[in-house]
Amino acid sequence: MGKKKSGKSKGFISQGIHSNVSSSVRRTLRADYIASGERLTNQRDAFDKGKNVMFTIPNPNPNETNKLFIRVNAKHIFKTDKR
């Protein structure tokens, strides 16, 4: 009897370690997403589901010049009043 092969592969299988989209296109798509309101909507949805959401905001302390932006937990921004 012949030996059975595992899986359905008939040839080369990509390992998925390289992207087929140029880095400049990925960068512009990411910049568009971050600037859009869709990101804020997704963060709010994640917060409502109980996830640990963080926001990146400009640092309110001008003396900390090495930290232009700081990460703040969404609990401080989305104050939910559950009674």
- The per-residue pLDDT for range 69-82, each reduced to its tens digit, is 999 999 888 876 55
**For residue 79, what pLDDT is reported?**
75
- Domain carrying residue 34: 23-76
**For residue 6, what pLDDT is reported?**
67
How many domains are contained in the chain?
1
User: Does the pLDDT of residue 14 top 80, yes or no?
Assistant: no
**For residue 7, what pLDDT is reported?**
67
| The 3-state secondary structure of the chain, one letter per residue | CCCCCCCCCCCCCCCCCCCCCCHHHHHHHHHHHHHCHHHHHHHHHHHHCCCCCEEEEECCCCCCCCCCEEEEEHHHCCCCCCC
Between 65 and 79, name the one with better pLDDT.
65
**For residue 42, what pLDDT is reported?**
94
61 located within any domain = yes
Over residues 48-58, mean pLDDT: 92
